[in-house]
Structure 1
Amino acid sequence: MAMNWSSSEIAVKPEIMLLEELLGEISSGRLRVPRFQRPFVWRPGQMTDLFDSIERGYPIGSVLIWETPLELPSLDTIAGVNIPSSAGGPYAYVLDGHQRLSTLYGCLVRRPHGSPPPMEPRVQEEWMWEIYRVLGQQDDRANKFRHWKSLEPPPENYLPLRSVLRTMDFLAYARKLSSSDRENINDLIDEGEELALRIKSYKMAVVRLVGSDISHAVEVFSRLNSSGQSMTPDQMVSALTYRADGTESLADRISSIQESLGDVGYGQIPSITIFRSVLAIAGEEDVQEARWDVLADRVKDRLASAVELTEVALRKAVDFLRDEIGVPLARLVPYNAQVMLLSAFFGVAGSASSWQRELLIKWFWSTSWSGFFAGANTTQIKIALEEMKGFAAGHADLDLSGQVARPFPDRFDMRSARIRAYLIWELQRFHRRLDSSGRPIDVVGLLARSDSSAYRHVFGSGPMVSNPANRVVLPTKAGMSVKRSLQDLSVDVEFEVVESHGIPIQALVALRGGDATSFIGERARFLAELERDFMRNVGVQLPKNLQGDADIDAD
């Protein structure tokens, strides 16, 4: 029965396809990726894990495709290769599965400019698509797929995945392997043939949504993926408000805002946080609304101006966090809701008066130390947004009653908002740190590059080893531990160095004697007291206990 394309009905057609057939639809230009999809973001490790799952016969998830007579703007390239335009409708668009299909297409099919792939890729944009299967590796539990980054050719037993689907390519590889002086060549070729067979015969589950309009397609998608959905809310609204006249989509604009904040260390603000900031500035009361079709219909005429206003307001919020609070990186912001609410403030007020600035500083530290936004539900965020907008308009103050700071944490884990609040304070309090020779350390640069691993253990074992007081940012020579580096400090710089890291004299004495418990205990009490003094000066309600648990919380 022919499909009635004009119908508002949408048909859901599940099917099973060979991997090779699905990739063929991409090569022909029939299956395309709509421009409102996020770009390719998978890490190299995710790519090799995908092929490991395929070889083992594990399912890799279904692909969701929307077939429609409507022609939508789509990506011109996949994995860096131009995709031919489809000759007339109907058209097929990937709604879910872009990252997996791009990985498969890029590694199994991709041949840039019609020529063989380079054997010596020099940048990640090239080598990330060059995945090899190591033949002859004995450990069956290990992942046998590798990227090859070296300028030298890979070993002969590295089978390029580019040679797997086409018989002539595999025979060329087999001839090259046969001409080498490796042992067990026949066994290696047999192993390669088995891999090729598994990939060629691998079948994927495909769900096709046929007909109707994009709002129905996205609605069906959201219901099919009610848990763990791959398309994020900002992408859904971007799809539902997409215009085919070449205007940048909401997803494009959000990506542009993220890039613009990268030069000040805030490029890692999640897209969903920017999206919710846009909604707040567009006048939405509930920025966590789950009915994306209704939301898109409400805000579509306000999105363009709201995005422009959000970009300005978000930059002011970031400047406030960096300059007034002292948060150098987005990674350290305790709660994403704080970024959204500050953006909403500057979207309404434009700028902060001196009294507003003082109260915003107190609000930030109070909500960070108290865990106010930990697991905040839709109603709590809605109330907080309403209150922030009223404060920005000068109609009301911020209510900080009942927000009591949590004690100094006893475990270092950067997933904890309480730890991130501690680190922001610590970076301010000990802003000039010295290495073992007395030279300044670029702490923020190390954090940007290494994240939590920049904070290294002093003692590697003991009952309090996970305490934040057992961590310092101190680069050392290769093979030199932090503990040994501190113990071997020259008398000329010793006290200046340890003071710059917040290590009191009592802790230094314990360190010299190798007493881990005393060192960590003395330093923890010292840091906790300094942090309490700062809380007192800001006007935050102090915790009852000096030290306590560090809950792993999130907003």
Structure 2
Amino acid sequence: MPPVKNFDSKSIPLHDLLRSTKDGKTQLPDFQRSWVWNDDQICSLLASISLSYPIGAVMMLETGNPDVRFQPRPIEGVTLNNPTEPGELILDGQQRLTSLFQTLLSGKPVKTKDTRGKVIYRWYYIDIAKALDPNIDREEAIISVPEDKIIRNFGKEIVADYSTPEKEYQNEMFPVSQIFEGSDWMTSHNEYWDYEKEKVKFFNKFNNDIVKQFEHYDVPIILLHKETLREAVCKVFEKMNSGGVSLTVFELVTATFAVYNFNLREDWATREEELKKHQVLRNIENTDFLQAVTLLATLEKSSVSCKRKDILNLSLEQYKKWADLVTLGFEQAAKFLHTQKIFSDRDLPYQTQLTALAAIFAALGDRTIGAGAIAKLANWYWCGVFGELYNSAIESRLAKDVPQVRDWINGCGAEPDTIRDANFAPDRLLSLYTRRSAAYKGLSALLLRDGGCDFFTSYPIDTLMEFNEAIDIHHIFPKHWCQKNGIAAEVYDCAINKTPLSAKTNKMIGGKAPSIYLTDIEKKSDILEDNLNEILRSHVIDPASLRTDNFDAFFQARKNALLDRIEKAMGKPILREAAKKIEN
């Protein structure tokens, strides 16, 4: 038995295809983006068809599957007096078909852009003489003119005028908009030239060699059967979209919900505006939100999942049921992260773990959870960060964490896998150099959470951040001092020798030895040595080794102290015997 084909291939005359778009029989699914081709691209396309060059296949989806319903919309430039149910939806070929409809069939100037992106309105002509000259590139024969059909130079002087049919005839400029209705234009052209033999012969050659290329041009069509699954439609669009812009699952769900007169874009825009008032949520995407909703919707069925196919199968009823709770969940997540001293999207270790956190809050309901539950949530969160468990297999981790953390907090489930799986290797501290690492960001947040204060002002670092002070991660033993004293870069540049400080304090530190800059700080800030020592301890820095410029003693002591902090945050011991001895 031969395999079942999911598509057919055929060719359709260009004119018939464009008429189908004009009548609304062929439309776009609402997830398609707007038409974006510029003036040069349109000219090149017209030149290709005039030479009967291939312009690529158009891919369409047959409508009629009740399980794969998308809100249709006509291509740009088409106005339908009454809603029309299309027979096919364009998946690939929107830019080409829209360009051709607007230039050949709309009867209006084309709204496009120049190469700088400026919006312009254009009519298109074929220079008859240039088009028939074999020594001239065909694209040079396709002429784009302003809306008033008058070309001017930079001094506003008229260079060419095609603003009346008589001026078109006089200049032998054939309007592209007359391609499929050229007989009337040809008759008037010949009358204008009083049927001069050479002029008639000249135009007849143009008609046969150029115009008829458009009239006889066939467009290859790949038609997906209506039985094609929604997920497959999405995949096909991504693979074939000649615009090079990936289709997001949000856009596909938007088109699905639009069938039921629900505007997902507007709904999300309202939620997004509120959520992004929290700095830590500024990078939240609509797909993150849908993923969290899907986690809750599938949680009801005891088969938790948030893969692409699950999001695509999300019903409008499920979305409406969970969207408000998920919105609240993200807000509660922002509040929780604030208590952990993670204030902005820049400081967030894992964007993906934020989705899990929001879904967990939503799964717990709209009730306020107590201190014990918050402590459990913190243990889970920091295990995810320092175990670096949200680097890969994200969807599987999300699907496990949401039900497991919910049940654990509710007292009816075992410790989540994320806590059991998490382990922080002590020597990982030696490879944390920049904030690109989730663990690096997490370590900085812990220092703030546990009371890290600025050396000079003694203000808590998190307070300075709240008031938009410039805070960054700086060296404790300055880089210049370390280089002078033969400390290896991979040692002095790691997280053990860094801590969050204000820009003002870092400027005072400069490249000085700690013993010197600590004395300077004491004098300039009028602070007692014991008080400054307490501030150093708030950064888990051993004051004695810092004041004696003993890098080795400082380094080992701080490494152990940082591991203590990480252990406390994770709520579980770290296997320290695996640590390597540091050689300077």
Q: Under a length normalisation based on structure 2, what TM-score does the superposition of the two structures give?
A: 0.54
- Matched residues in 2 for 1:243 and 1:474: separation? 50
Task: Name the counterpart of 2:317.
Answer: 301
- Matched residues in 2 for 1:388 and 1:63: separation? 50
8 Å contact from structure 1 (residues 436, 485) kept in 2: no
Aligned partner letter, 1:269:
I
Task: Name the counterpart of 1:403.
Answer: 422
Task: Name the counterpart of 1:390.
Answer: 407
Report the Cα offset of residue 279 of structure 1: 0.8
- Matched residues in 1 for 2:62 and 2:315: separation? 25
- Matched residues in 1 for 2:444 and 2:221: separation? 48
For residues 191-226 of structure 1, the C-alpha deviation after alignment (integer angstroms, 9 at most, x for no partner) is xxxxxxxxxxxxxxx997656669757623414647
Task: Name the counterpart of 2:327.
Answer: 311
Aligned to 1:242, what secondary structure does the other structure show? helix
**Quick one: which of 304, 309, 325 aligns to 1:291?**
309
Q: Does 1:247 align with 2:262?
A: yes
Aligned to 2:331, what secondary structure does the other structure show? helix
Matches within 5 A, 1:26-175: 36=31, 72=71, 84-87=77-80, 108=115, 166=144
Report the Cα offset of residue 484 of structure 1: 6.8
Distance change (3 Å), C-alpha of 1:432 and 1:73: farther
Task: Name the counterpart of 1:125.
Answer: none
Aligned partner letter, 2:401:
A
8 Å contact from structure 2 (residues 72, 89) kept in 1: no
8 Å contact from structure 1 (residues 234, 275) kept in 2: yes
- Matched residues in 2 for 1:39 and 1:480: separation? 54
Percent identical: 13
Report the Cα offset of residue 307 of structure 1: 1.4
Aligned to 2:446, what secondary structure does the other structure show? helix
- Matched residues in 2 for 1:437 and 1:525: separation? 25
- Matched residues in 2 for 1:319 and 1:424: separation? 15
**Quick one: which of 324, 328, 348 aligns to 1:333?**
348
Equivalences, count: 414
Aligned partner letter, 2:325:
L
Report the Cα offset of residue 411 of structure 1: 2.6
Task: Name the counterpart of 1:268.
Answer: 283
Task: Name the counterpart of 2:378.
Answer: 361
Distance change (3 Å), C-alpha of 1:343 and 1:378: closer
Distance change (3 Å), C-alpha of 1:279 and 1:367: same
**Quick one: which of 270, 281, 294 aligns to 1:279?**
294
Greater share of helix: 2
Matches within 5 A, 1:420-431: 420-431=441-452
Aligned partner letter, 2:445:
I
- Matched residues in 2 for 1:167 and 1:415: separation? 51
Q: Under a length normalisation based on structure 1, what TM-score does the superposition of the two structures give?
A: 0.56
- Matched residues in 2 for 1:542 and 1:344: separation? 28
Distance change (3 Å), C-alpha of 1:416 and 1:543: farther
8 Å contact from structure 2 (residues 540, 561) kept in 1: no
Q: Which runs of 5+ in 1 are unaligned?
A: 1-7, 18-25, 41-46, 48-61, 77-82, 116-163, 177-205, 512-517, 550-555
Aligned partner letter, 1:475:
A
* Backbone CA RMSD of aligned residues: 5.7
Aligned to 2:298, what secondary structure does the other structure show? coil
Aligned to 1:356, what secondary structure does the other structure show? helix
**Quick one: which of 465, 468, 477 aligns to 1:443?**
465
Task: Name the counterpart of 2:388.
Answer: 371
Aligned partner letter, 2:564:
D
- Matched residues in 2 for 1:37 and 1:222: separation? 14
8 Å contact from structure 1 (residues 237, 296) kept in 2: yes
- Matched residues in 2 for 1:437 and 1:393: separation? 40
Aligned partner letter, 1:412:
Y
- Matched residues in 2 for 1:74 and 1:360: separation? 46
Task: Name the counterpart of 1:3.
Answer: none
**Quick one: which of 526, 530, 553 aligns to 2:561?**
530
Q: Which runs of 5+ in 2 are unaligned?
A: 15-20, 39-55, 64-68, 99-110, 123-141, 157-218
Report the Cα offset of residue 64 of structure 1: 8.5
Report the Cα offset of residue 355 of structure 1: 2.6
**Quick one: which of 210, 219, 225 aligns to 2:232?**
219
For residues 434-484 of structure 1, the C-alpha deviation after alignment (integer angstroms, 9 at most, x for no partner) is 66999978436769xx9xx94456527752353122465443599999547
Rg larger in 1 or in 2? 2
8 Å contact from structure 2 (residues 112, 121) kept in 1: no
**Quick one: which of 413, 418, 427 aligns to 2:434?**
413
Task: Name the counterpart of 2:205.
Answer: none
Aligned partner letter, 2:572:
V
Question: Which has the larger displacement, 367-376 or 417-426?
Answer: 367-376
- Matched residues in 1 for 2:306 and 2:237: separation? 20
Question: Which has the larger displacement, 402-411 or 476-485?
Answer: 476-485
Task: Name the counterpart of 2:572.
Answer: 540
Report the Cα offset of residue 73 of structure 1: 6.3
Aligned partner letter, 2:357:
L
Report the Cα offset of residue 71 of structure 1: 8.6
- Matched residues in 1 for 2:358 and 2:503: separation? 36
